[in-house]
Amino acid sequence: MAKNFVSNKDETVRMFNNNFLESLSRVHPSVPVIIYLPIIAYMLYLAVWQHQLYFLNIAGLFLFGILVWSITEYILHRFVFHFIPKSQFGEKIHFIFHGVHHDYPNDSRRLVMPPSVSIPLALFFYFLFQLILGSVFIFPFFAGFLLGYLFYDITHYAIHHFNMHSKFWLAIKNHHMKHHYQDSTKGFGVSTPIWDSIIGSNFPEKK
């Protein structure tokens, strides 16, 4: 398992001997959009046409779902993806889930979450939030939650492979690049760096 190594090329390392498992670990960046955009549209359709929720209810729950995703993104990145168990097996699991991205940050096939991971996570969060919100309000809320996830995945790919020009996108890119190349114990917000400022895991300001 690679240690203290960072590749600046669009290259990768093989993680599984089994070809099928290896294929599940790599994905084209368009795949999350193809999978989740129709689901988002269908959930909004259910909220509007089947359950006939008021516009303000739909808009409020939709925006709340985006907000909840943003803090979920931060929590997952900081406390799950960067949790490194002390056992050798645990270190291997960490490398598969996130360590490989820090060693090969420009690997274009491992910049968005593969469906083999994102679909089980989405199902877990769907049923969790359904218990909290019920079987009706879940639809506009989870549509917003999934849109937040899509924004995160697309943003993450763009950070590593697109040239940013606007101040907004440059700030987001620089924040994530510091996480990779300056201090991986800070800067866990990828699409929403504001949580690092709120929680206290931001990079120190230059004097």
Residue 150 lies in a domain: yes
How confident is the model at residue 148, as a pLDDT?
Answer: 97
Residue 132 lies in a domain: yes
How confident is the model at residue 25, as a pLDDT?
Answer: 79
Distance of CA 154 to the CA centre of its chain: 9
DSSP structure string for 170-186: HHHHHHHHHHHHT-TTS
Residue 41 lies in a domain: yes
Please give the structure tokens belonging to residue 110. 């491992």
How confident is the model at residue 165, as a pLDDT?
Answer: 85
How confident is the model at residue 3, as a pLDDT?
Answer: 47
Q: What is the CA radius of gyration of the chain?
A: 18
Closest-CA residue to 196 (of 80, 98, 75, 63): 75
Count of domains for the chain: 1
Residues 61 and 142: their CA atoms lie apart, in Å, by: 8
How confident is the model at residue 62, as a pLDDT?
Answer: 98
Residue 191 burial class via C-beta count within 10 angstroms: exposed 0-12, middle 13-18, buried 19 and up: buried
Residue 11 lies in a domain: no
Determine contact, residues 146/122, Cβ cutoff 8 Å. Answer: yes
Residues 38 and 126: their CA atoms lie apart, in Å, by: 16
Q: What is the mean pLDDT of each run of 10 residues along the chain (207 residues)?
A: 58 79 83 96 95 94 98 94 79 76 79 89 97 96 98 93 88 91 91 93 81
Residue 62 lies in a domain: yes
CB neighbour burial string for 39-60, b if at least 16 within 10 angstroms, e if fewer: ebeebbebbeeeeebeeeebeb
Identify the domain containing residue 65 by its residue range: 22-199
Reported as half-sphere exposure (CB side, CA atoms, 13 A), residue 8 has a value of 2
Residue 17 lies in a domain: no
As a whole number of Å, the end-to-end CA separation of the chain is 38
Residue 15 lies in a domain: no
How confident is the model at residue 37, as a pLDDT?
Answer: 97
- Kindly state the greatest CA–CA separation across the chain: 56
Residue 166 lies in a domain: yes
How confident is the model at residue 7, as a pLDDT?
Answer: 64
